[in-house]
Structure 1
Amino acid sequence: MTTPIRRMSKRMPGWAKLVSAVVLVLIVFFAGIRLSVLPGLKDLFGTETHDRSGPALLESIQDLSRYDAASGNFQVVVDLEKDAKYLPDAIRGTRTLYVGAGTVDAYVDLGKVAKDDVTVNEDRTTATLHLPHAQLGKPALDTDRSYAVSKQRGLLDRLGDLFSDNPNGEQAVQKLATKHIGDAAKDSGLTKRAEANTTDMLEGLLTSLGFKEVRVSFGT
């Protein structure tokens, strides 16, 4: 009687499975590291930059009637952290420390001045002007003076950068920095400085034209 031969399946030991998983994670992790960290590899093949942009087209022209009377320079430190639920930061999550620098202009819209807002006495020695209050322009972030101090990204975020058109994008922190700069400008007294500078400008201009007294007021 022939004894049937049984095929015995070889099971991988538990410690081997653990080692295989760790090796796989390390392979994926190091795949996300940029090749530029290897000395000399960055310039191994050489790169050239070609600007094939088309000519700029003029779409419209607008006449400006506002007087930019003051400009403020601001700097803010943005600490933006994004966490994922149920996952540790080492796996999924980002934290960026960003120093944003930008400017905000304060101006007086002279285009809103009506005829009744400007009066001159009969002998043309006194001029009275009623102007709208100064306003703040949109905050402008200076990317040349702004920079990221540190970036921390989880493993999944690093892998995502490999397939992203804009790896390590800083749009979120730049947008937040711009917002903080705009908020700071509102509490800086920049509009009051703009109104004072506008008053000085008009007094000097009208005085040079022969007016002995110039009265400037601001209101809605």
Structure 2
Amino acid sequence: MNPYREIMINGLWKQNPGVVQLLGLCPLLAISNNMVNAIGLGLATTIVMSLSNGAVSSIRNHVSNEIRIPVFILVIASLVTVIDLAMNAFIHPLYLVLGIFVPLIVTNCIVLARTEAFAAKNPVLPAMLDGLMMGIGLTGVLTLLGAIRELIGKGTLLSGIDLAFGDSAKTWVLHVIPDYHGFLIAILPPGAFFGLGLLIALRNWWDQRAKTPKTSNTATESTTSAALNYN
């Protein structure tokens, strides 16, 4: 398989950080109470992961093994600071809602894990692609979980999008279930655990379903071959 294609598949499906590796669960569970928050934090994390992977890959041959972890954390912290200041300047209302979870990207284990496991051992371009795909995979899980929780909890999608795009964006909110009184537990912490468990179960079911036909076909071919040989 083409190595770049394999990196993409791993980030989006096979090694998805949200439903396979189960890394970075603190922000994933805490901030996914609606789609807008989930997308905002997911995109910020994706940018940090891609750039930090590229930066670590470019200096990997110039950093001694003894101090690599502090150096990697310093690189990540610098990039998170840039993202934090940019969000504060350009999308301040959303930045206030995300709060401490933007600076906490520095301590997100998936960011450091990818720099250590992949970026520190590979060239710049594959490293950046790995960070990008892992970030997109995490953002996808965040967005889907946020959509499920918001839909069940409020009956809407894209609630709060005006925090990012101004008051004119309030008309973009989708009222999927009109006159819905809400289901509070969906947007509370227990709803995050239930929703994530559902996504993990669906992913595992789909993965097993994809493997089952191959096993069945192989068994059928073996039975047919044995019958022909007997005849």
TM-score range, shorter chain: under 0.3
- TM-score between both structures, scaled by the size of structure 2: 0.23
- TM-score between both structures, scaled by the size of structure 1: 0.24
> For the pair shown, which has the larger CA radius of gyration, 1 or 2?
1
Higher-RCO chain (CA-CA 8 Å, sequence separation at least 6):
2
Question: Going by fraction, where is strand more abundant, 1 or 2?
Answer: 1
